[in-house]
Amino acid sequence: MIGNAVFRHYFTGDTTLSALESLTDHVRQTAMLDSVQSLLYWDERTYLPALGGDFRADQITTLSSMLHQRRTDPRVGEWLSELSDDAQVADPHSDVGTLLRQVRREYEKQTKLPQRLVEEVARYSVTGQQAWVEARKSDDFSKLAPFLEKLLSLKREQADALGYPETRYDALLDEYEPNARTRTVRETLERLRQDLVPLVQTIQDANRSAPIDHLKGHFPTAAQSKFGRSTATSIGFDFQRGRLDVTEHPFCTELGPNDCRILTNYDESFFPSALFSTLHEAGHGMYEQGLRTDQYGLPAGQYVSLGIHESQSRLWENQVGRSHAFWEHFYPTTQQVFKSAFGNLSIDDFYFAINDVRPSLIRIEADEATYNLHIIIRFEIEQELINDELQVADLPGAWASKYQEYLGITPPNDADGVLQDIHWSGGDFGYFPTYSLGNLYAAQFFEAADDALAGVDSLMRRGEFQPLLEWLRENVHVHGQCYSPDELIERATHKPLSHEPLMRHLRAKLEPLYLQ
Residues with active-site annotation = 281
Instruction: Report how far apart, in Å, the C-alpha atoms of 497 and of each of 200, 325, 379, 388, 440 are.
Output: 23, 26, 19, 31, 7
Minimum distance of Zn ion from residue 251's CB (angstroms) = 7
Alpha helices of 360-484 — where are they, by DSSP H?
A: 371-386, 395-407, 433-452, 456-461, 466-475
Minimum distance of Zn ion from residue 39's CB (angstroms) = 20
Cβ proximity to Zn ion, 313 vs 439, nearer residue: 313
Residues forming beta bridges with residue 262, ordered by sequence position: 244, 252
Can you say how many angstroms the Cα of residue 407 is from the centroid of all Cα atoms in its chain? 23
Return the range that interacts with Zn ion (CB under 5 A); candidates 169-177, 193-201, 296-304, 310-318: 310-318
Cβ proximity to Zn ion, 26 vs 309, nearer residue: 309
Cβ proximity to Zn ion, 345 vs 364, nearer residue: 364
Cβ proximity to Zn ion, 174 vs 310, nearer residue: 310
Cβ proximity to Zn ion, 131 vs 252, nearer residue: 252
Using rule CB under 5 A, residue 313 touches Zn ion: yes
Using rule CB under 5 A, residue 372 touches Zn ion: no
Give, for 255, the enclosing helix (H) or strand (E): strand 252-256
Minimum distance of Zn ion from residue 340's CB (angstroms) = 31
Report the C-alpha gap between 81 and 76 in whole angstroms: 9
Minimum distance of Zn ion from residue 364's CB (angstroms) = 9
Return the range that interacts with Zn ion (CB under 5 A); candidates 52-60, 102-110, 164-172, 306-314: 306-314
Cβ proximity to Zn ion, 38 vs 209, nearer residue: 38
Report the C-alpha gap between 203 and 358 in whole angstroms: 8
Residues forming beta bridges with residue 290, ordered by sequence position: none
Kindly report the number of other CB atoms within 10 A of residue 92's CB atom. 14
Query: Residues binding Zn ion: what is the number (CB under 5 A)?
Result: 2
Residue at shortest CB range from Zn ion: 313
Report the C-alpha gap between 29 and 8 in whole angstroms: 11
Give, for 245, the enclosing helix (H) or strand (E): strand 242-246
Q: Which DSSP letter does residue 319 get?
A: I
Return the range that interacts with Zn ion (CB under 5 A); candidates 131-139, 308-316, 327-335, 461-469: 308-316
Report the C-alpha gap between 510 and 505 in whole angstroms: 9
Minimum distance of Zn ion from residue 252's CB (angstroms) = 7
Return the range that interacts with Zn ion (CB under 5 A); candidates 11-19, 97-105, 309-317, 363-371: 309-317
CA proximity to 240, closest of 210, 269, 260: 260
Minimum distance of Zn ion from residue 240's CB (angstroms) = 23
Instruction: Report how far apart, in Å, the C-alpha atoms of 490 and of each of 35, 45, 480, 482 are.
Output: 31, 37, 15, 14
Return the range that interacts with Zn ion (CB under 5 A); candidates 28-36, 312-320, 330-338, 444-452: 312-320
- Residue numbers of the site for Zn ion (CB under 5 A)? 310, 313
